[in-house]
Amino acid sequence: MFESLIPAEWVMGVRQMEAPEFWMVALLLLALTGAAFYGVFRFFHRARLIEDIPTSKIRSAAQGYVELDGTAELMEGEPIVAPLTGTRCTWYSYKVEEKVEHYSSKGRRTSWKTIQSGVSDELFLIVDETGECVIDPEGAEVTPSKSDTWYGNSPAWTHGLPGNRGNRFFSTGRYRYTEKRIHVADSLYAIGMFRTVGGSQELPNTRDDVRNLLNVWKRDQAALLKHFDKNGDGHIDTQEWELVRATARKVVLKDQAERFHRPVHHIMSRPDSSRQPYLLSVLPQHQLVQRLKLYAGLSLFGFIGMGAMATWMLTVRLAG
């Protein structure tokens, strides 16, 4: 019944395909079906995760997996500059591709081969009305505010962003350049692992710190004897060991006092768990959720369509 809805030439084409070609197409469809099935759950899980986690303010954010909403800013020091256009920004990725021609019995076709690419891993800030947090972009999935594509005839582009980039489908040039950026003062949504270092956020544990320091000192017996073997008998007796412990405690308390007075810094980075995505997006939270749900819907459509096609091909082939 299902086969009657398919054009007869399609059915004949599947039955007449060479075995290697048929199984290659069938396995490709099955692989794409599996990838689409994974995409449904991946995108939907992320959308629900973003919806369920409340947005925190930087000053009062809890330690752990949180989401922040603010603006992107540069840290003090050297600015971040995108390599192709020379644009000042907070994050960039770029790619240079070369047009490659292929010839076969079916004629000529062209494709693009990446010859150079890179992604910024320099630290920058997300700032809200309560404070600022350092963003470590390594490992993040980034939705940028700007994406430029243009063409040229040199593998090394050194002229900045061209004024007239033309239509990407009809432009000519052996090389294609793509650069994506997050600019200074762009709105920024971030969800990742948040931690605070310095100041009173680091709660001291004197007992553990002293024990750890003593373990370090024990590994260097020569230095330990040099500083604490007061009677020169070649070993640390009970009285001398009490001096070692007292000295270690003084060192630990001094270090804790210094750490307590260090400036507080908030840092966001990639979580350890793969189930917790690290996302940086210039899109507001609700738009990001809508996009993820759209991707989940498209993945579901692909799963049904390619799965049906693979099932039909196998049915026609094995039944024929």
Encode pLDDT of 166-221 as tens digits: 445 445 688 999 999 999 999 999 999 999 886 555 556 788 888 888 888 888 88
Q: How far apart are CA 288 and CA 57, in angstroms?
A: 19
Residues with Cβ < 8 Å from 198, sequence gap 6 or more?
A: 259, 262, 263, 264, 265
CB–CB of 313/14 below 8 Å?
yes
DSSP string, 191-208: EEEEEEESGGGS---HHH
For residue 154, what pLDDT band results from cuts at 50, 70 and 90?
Answer: confident
Q: How far apart are CA 75 and CA 307, in angstroms?
A: 49
Classify the C-alpha dihedral 150-154-156-159 as positive or negative: negative
Taking 50 as the threshold, does the pLDDT of residue 1 lie above it? no
Residue 157: its pLDDT value, please? 72
Residue 117: its pLDDT value, please? 94
Tell me the mean pLDDT in the region 149-154: 88
Taking 80 as the threshold, does the pLDDT of residue 256 lie above it? no
- Per residue in 52-108, pLDDT (tens digit) is 899 999 999 999 999 999 999 999 989 999 999 999 999 999 999 999 887 766 677
**Average pLDDT value for the chain:** 85
**Other residues' Cβ atoms within 10 Å of the Cβ of residue 240:** 18
Taking 50 as the threshold, does the pLDDT of residue 311 lie above it? yes
Residue 106: its pLDDT value, please? 66
Residue 161: its pLDDT value, please? 63
DSSP 3-state assignment of 168? coil
Residue 202: its pLDDT value, please? 54
Residue 62: its pLDDT value, please? 92
Torsion angle in degrees (nearest 10) through CA of 295, 297, 299, 301: -150
Element containing residue 251 per DSSP (H, E): helix 238-260
Residue 320: its pLDDT value, please? 59
User: Percent of the chain scored above 90 by pLDDT?
Assistant: 39
Tell me the mean pLDDT in the region 243-260: 82
Q: How far apart are CA 13 and CA 21, in angstroms?
A: 12
Residues with Cβ < 8 Å from 208, sequence gap 6 or more?
A: none
Residue 52: its pLDDT value, please? 87
Tell me the mean pLDDT in the region 32-57: 89
Rank 19-33, 137-151, 304-318 by mean pLDDT and report only the highest: 137-151
Residue type, position 73, single letter: E
Reference 81, options 185, 186, 183, 187; nearest CA is 183
**Other residues' Cβ atoms within 10 Å of the Cβ of residue 263:** 7
Q: Cβ-count burial of 251 within 10 angstroms (0-12 exposed, 13-18 middle, 19+ buried)?
A: middle
